[in-house]
Structure 1
Amino acid sequence: MGRSHRVRRGLRRHRQGQGRLFNARSPAVYVRTTLAGLGIGLLGYVLPLTYFYGGSKMNVLLSGTFPVERLLLVLAGTMIAAALTIHGNWLGGLIIPHMFMGALVGQATAHVVPGLSPTFGMLTGMAAFNSVVTATPLSSALIAIALTDGASITPVFLASLTAFVGSPNVQFLEVAAPRSEAPAFHIDDD
């Protein structure tokens, strides 16, 4: 068994253990929701780009010139806000925040790589980041392309596939949480 395989297996076990520990010691839902809401509110006050959906902030990101440090700070804040949203039992999706995080990574990369257009960096970053986190390279590329009316199809697919294949074999997202509604909750079409 190779060293990299043992490291990946160890990381996976460590992460799975953390999730069980968090669930076992988790406070009541109203405490989690209140603390998460407070954390999200404070993050939004300190870093306004982390507030609300990332989709509404994409134009701000496109029109502004932010230093790399600020982009990485907003990236960290957005990651924390997404984690607080999920673990605080708040409603919110993962796709658009991941796309926004990828756009932040792409724009930061455009600052570092000479000649890389910030818009192109953001577009490929969106597809690549979401592809790695959700393990869905095809749909991540299609969503990024759909959000931009079909611009740069080939590079977006390449970025998404390259990121997916090149990412470590670590599962970032757990299986969907069990539903609390009764099986007969849905109304038939009859």
Structure 2
Amino acid sequence: MSHNVPMKFTHLRPDNRTSAARLLRLPNHSLSWRIPWGLLALALTIGVGSGLGAVAFRWLIDTFTLLFSGHEDYAAAGHAAHPYVPQLGMWFLLLVPPLGGLLYGPLIEKFANEARGHGVPEVMASVTHDGGRIAPRVVLVKSLASALCIGSGGSVGKEGPIVQIGSALGSVFGRLARMDGSRLRLLVACGAAGGIAATFNAPLAGVFFAMELILGEFTVRTFGLLVLSSATASVLSRVLVGGELFLTLPPFDVDHPAEYLLFAGVGVAAGAVGAGFARLLYLVEDTVARIWRGPEWLRPAAGGLLLGALLLALPQLYGVGYPALRNAIEGQYVLWFLLALLVGKMLATSLTLGIGGSGGVFAPSLFLGAVFGTACGMLMHSVAPALAGPAGAYGVVGMGAVFAGATRAPITATIVIVELTGEYALLLPLMLAVVLATGVSRLLSAETIYTMKLRRREAEPDLSPLPAARG
């Protein structure tokens, strides 16, 4: 196959896909800054912007978390009291989400409604329907709203916001350079790649996330520009905040060939969990919208009372929840508590977004996969101790499988787990579980967690199933 022929993913409509040859073919009357080296310079600039944006966004989250909870990461603090109001004890958790909602609710309502939600579907819609045009105000509003939401206990991820922030930067730079629609879409994808790379220290995952979910195609030239942005953002993030692995785990291995059957079982079940998570997310959103009759700007504060009650029961769900994810894979939780975290995280994330919060679903999918996979590993070890390996290995595989079940992005799911954990010995069982999870998800649902949002916002004028959903 010629390298000029794009390999196309299937979540976008055929008439909205554009080959890299068309993206980068320059008209004879182009000015000097519109030749390929100009695109390279823009991709590099967007990578720098995405990297700095990710670092600044992380600082905002840390600052608001410390302000609202009194701890660097309350998910690791148990039921500790707020040091500034110790007389309230753990009950301050009931007040923190409503207080945060009173701040970010009016901010979103007044300045940028598109900052509500998890961000990635909005970027997909801009690429598919708006030629890559994203309002510049999204950068600031999304940063503040998501940081306030997560810092005040919103149980969502930071990768969705930084994807939207990086994509908005790509759109702004591209429009300043007067790029046409096809090139502008590519620069938006460069911003998304840089955002994922800087957030997770995972440059390859950023590249394939942008190709698999944002552009929906693969070409050599597109790959090169995305790599430039992603690598630049990742290097900048590592220089400023460190380059340690997301999870530092003991080496896992597959000791018996028959254990692949157990990993396959995890993949099948994880596909159902991922699809179920997507369904629950929008079921809660519909329920809240049906019940709420007040002004939209007040909904996050009112719904925050319910979120606070849930955090009071399971404080490990506060914010992104990385400490609890690590503890689960390291075997620090018993089986019943893992199942409680699984159900609780689904509800907490769905409620956070359903009441109008701002944050991503990437990290919650990884969280769900970690606790579900580890729980499966514990069960399998109790049933077949001579065959099943450490429960943590199933937790690592479960992370990728649940994410694949929710998003149907199997390449991204595989690469991001390897980059986050460094567990290359689990690559084969991970690939097996991810592929099975993707297939099960397609059987159970006509949409992914991202395309479902597009459908609900009527981003697609044709109401026939999306190509990716027909799998």
1:10 aligned residue: none
Q: Which residue of structure 1 lines up, in the alignment, with residue 438 of structure 2?
A: 164
3-state SS, counterpart of residue 444 of structure 2: coil
Counterparts of 1:122 and 1:64 in 2: how far apart (Å)? 10
Q: Deviations over 1:83-114 (max 9, x none)?
A: 01111121211011110001010110011102
Q: In structure 2, do the counterparts of structure 1 residues 155 and 39 end up closer, same or farther at CA, with 3 Å as the change threshold?
A: same
Mark the runs of 5 or more structure 2 residues left unpaired by the alignment: 1-278, 382-387, 458-471
**Would you say the 8 A contact 2:327–2:333 is kept in 1?**
no
1:109 to 369, 376, 387: 376
What's the counterpart of residue 122 of structure 1? 395
Q: Counterpart amino acid of 1:140?
A: A
* 1:92-150, Cα deviation, whole Å (9 max, x unpaired): 11011110001010110011102231221111111111111112222122221221125
- Amino acid aligned to 2:439: V
Does residue 91 (structure 1) correspond to residue 91 (structure 2)? The answer is: no
Alignment partner of 1:107: what SS?
A: helix
Name the structure 2 match of 1:6: none
Distance 2:324 2:363 in 1: 11
1:55 alignment partner in structure 2: 322
Structure 1: distance between partners of 2:318 and 2:287:
29
Aligned residues: 164
What is the DSSP-based 3-state SS (H/G/I as helix, E as strand, rest coil) of the residue aligned with 1:132? helix
Counterpart residue number, 1:154:
428
Q: Match for residue 453 of structure 2?
A: 175
Q: Which has the higher contact order (CA 8 A, sep 6+)?
A: 2
In 2, the alpha carbon distance for the partners of 1:78 and 1:127 equals: 17
Counterpart CA distance in 1 for 2:326 and 2:444 is 33
**Which residue number in structure 1 is paired with residue 237 of structure 2?**
none
Change (3 A) 1:20 1:63: closer
CA distance in 1, matches of 2:406, 2:305: 26
Amino acid in structure 2 at the alignment position of 1:149 = G
Give, in angstroms, the shift of residue 51 of structure 1: 1.5
| 1:80–1:24 CA distance, 2 compared to 1 (3 A) | closer
Deviation at 1:35, TM superposition (A): 3.1
Instruction: Report the equivalent of 1:140.
Output: 413
Provide the rounded CA distance (Å) in 2 between the counterparts of 1:121 and 1:134.
20
Q: What secondary structure sits across from 1:113 in the alignment?
A: helix
Q: Is the 8 A contact 2:331 2:391 kept in 1?
A: no
Percent of matched pairs sharing the same residue: 23
Q: Which protein is bigger by CA-based radius of gyration?
A: 2
Distance 1:62 1:22, change over 3 A: closer
Residue 364 of structure 2 aligns to a residue in which SS? helix
Cα offset, 1:54, TM superposition: 3.0
Instruction: Show CA shifts across 1:23-68 (max 9, x none).
Output: 4654332342013322222222211222211333222223443222
2:344 is paired with a residue whose SS is helix
CA contact (8 A) 1:50 1:77 kept: yes
Q: Which amino acid is the alignment partner of residue 36 of structure 1?
A: G
**Residues 329 and 370, structure 2, Cα contact 8 Å, conserved in 1:** no
User: Structure 1 residue 74: deviation in Å?
Assistant: 1.0
User: Deviation string for 1:150-170 (max 9, x for gaps)?
Assistant: 532221111111111123331
Amino acid at match of 2:432: L
Q: Which runs of 5+ in 1 are unaligned?
A: 1-13, 179-190
**For the structure 1 residues 143 and 45, does the alpha-carbon distance in structure 2 shift closer, same or farther, using more than 3 Å as the test?**
same
AA in 1 matched with 2:438: F
- Structure 2 CA distance, aligned partners of 1:21 and 1:51? 23
Check whether the contact 1:33–1:89 (CA below 8 A) recurs between aligned residues.
yes
Contact 1:140 1:160 in 2 (8 A): yes
Give the secondary structure class of the aligned counterpart of 1:52: coil
- 1:75/1:21 CA distance change after superposition, 3 Å: closer
What amino acid sits opposite 2:418 in the alignment?
A: I
Give the match for residue 310 of structure 2.
43
Report the TM-score when normalising by structure 1: 0.74
